[in-house]
Chains A and B, each alone.
Chain A
Amino acid sequence: ETGVTQSPTHLIKTRGQQVTLRCSSQSGHNTVSWYQQALGQGPQFIFQYYREEENGRGNFPPRFSGLQFPNYSSELNVNALELDDSALYLCASSSSGTDEKLFFGSGTQLSVL
């Protein structure tokens, strides 16, 4: 049990729709990162938020956006969904107070039809 919770666990959307995924970080963590894991692939870094500011972004288009709130929870928003967006989306939180360890949630499985 990592203390990082993601919701929903599963989601089905239609191409062109928009989706919001949520992540509740472990208590005291001020950094959250989002990863996309397509079937049969390793996770790919989407972006990271540190104290509510974006702090690095991977090779993902602008229709992938995020937010981090004052309580350090986070959202990942994806607009104009495409079939290739179908994947497991993982959230990870961390804090400079830990031993530099990322704590991953169990993910949200998104299916785009």
Chain B
Amino acid sequence: AQSVTQPDIHITVSEGASLELRCNYSYGATPYLFWYVQSPGQGLQLLLKYFSGDTLVQGIKGFEAEFKRSQSSFNLRKPSVHWSDAAEYFCAVARSRGSNYKLTFGKGTLLTVNP
């Protein structure tokens, strides 16, 4: 069965600083990988996804993620964090693509942004 590990439960950065959130996955075949963001009291919003092709994917709100098969990682990055980025971030993996995919999520990383 697939699994996702987000090693950092809570990260604090200063506004304007760079950000990297770590994600490691365990899955035998080609993974389909996602990053979601959840603001308090809200549902999940898709930031970006990786299915195949270029291992560096661009998402919304200035986020990007890099798929590294050799490290089983899919880390999320942003060059300059804004106060509005404070939220919880979830990495997820799916066994198949298409509208019927079922996601396995990590436990999340809570991001705090200091002014």
Contacts and interface: CB of A to CB of B under 8 A. Distances in A.
Main secondary structure of the interface of B (DSSP, over half): loop
A24 interface: no
A45 B104 contact: yes
A4 interface: yes
Main SS class of interface, A: loop
Nearest to B6: A42
B100 A43 contact: no
A93 B8 CA distance: 29
A43 B107 contact: no
Contacts of B106: 42
B107 A105 contact: no
Contact of A50 (B49, B51, B100): B100
Given A50-B100, A98-B99, A42 B90 contact: yes
B105 A90 contact: no
A31 B43 contact: no
